[in-house]
Amino acid sequence: MDQPGVSQDPKLLFLEALSRTGDSTTAANEAGVDHDGMLALRQVNREFAAQWRMAEQLFEQGLHQELLRRAIVGFQDPVVSGGELVRDQTGRPVAVNRRSDQLLLALLRARCPDKYALTVLPPWCRWLAILFVIAYILWVFGDLGLRLKSLR
């Protein structure tokens, strides 16, 4: 029996599932449609291709919101001790709020690259460093050879 207000159009079911899962294969399975058929339809139908892109953008927005939540608000992480879930006096599981510093840094690097970007040395700097180490080793061993000669 159809629910009122819920579309039974397979393309719309697919697009809704795609916006939730971000994966076209999973979306096709959930919508009960042929994945290859959806890919082919996207190639020939511009409107469907635009709707597909919109569904992917909705999924990406959801990822971004979840990233912000985990980085800034945090998430409840259950406390486990000795392989067992720790419970309070009432029997409810104990959890601590955790935030993700790695996600926060990733956000800062994306939003403020001049302040937080990782600096990567160009290849010529690495070669210069290698040459410096070689020169230093030769200098140390050369100096050592002169000292040994003077001891004789």
Token readout for 16 is 């809704």
CA torsion, ordered 109, 115, 117, 119, to nearest 10 deg: -170
Residues 43 and 84 grouped into a single domain: no
pTM of the predicted model as reported, rounded to 2 decimal places? 0.61
129 versus 80: the higher-pLDDT residue is 80
Residues 15 and 69 grouped into a single domain: yes
Domain that holds residue 14: 7-73
Q: Is the pLDDT reported for residue 7 higher than 70?
A: no
pLDDT of residue 140: 72
Residues 65 and 97 grouped into a single domain: no
Inter-helix orientation angle 10-21/46-68, to 10° = 30
Report the C-alpha gap between 56 and 152 in whole angstroms: 78
Q: Report the number of distinct structural domains present in the chain.
A: 3
Tell me if 19 is assigned to some domain. yes
Residues 78 and 103 grouped into a single domain: yes
Per-residue pLDDT reduced to its tens digit, 100-138: 888 888 888 888 888 887 776 677 777 788 888 887 777
Report the C-alpha gap between 74 and 66 in whole angstroms: 10
132 versus 12: the higher-pLDDT residue is 12
61 versus 142: the higher-pLDDT residue is 61
Residues 31 and 66 grouped into a single domain: yes
Residues 43 and 22 grouped into a single domain: yes
11 versus 138: the higher-pLDDT residue is 11
Q: Is the pLDDT reported for residue 3 higher than 90?
A: no
Per-residue pLDDT reduced to its tens digit, 129-142: 888 888 777 777 77
Tell me if 1 is assigned to some domain. no
Tell me if 31 is assigned to some domain. yes
Residues 13 and 55 grouped into a single domain: yes
Report the C-alpha gap between 36 and 42 in whole angstroms: 10
Tell me if 25 is assigned to some domain. yes
Q: Is the pLDDT reported for residue 1 higher than 50?
A: no
**pLDDT band, residue 93 (cuts 50/70/90):** very high
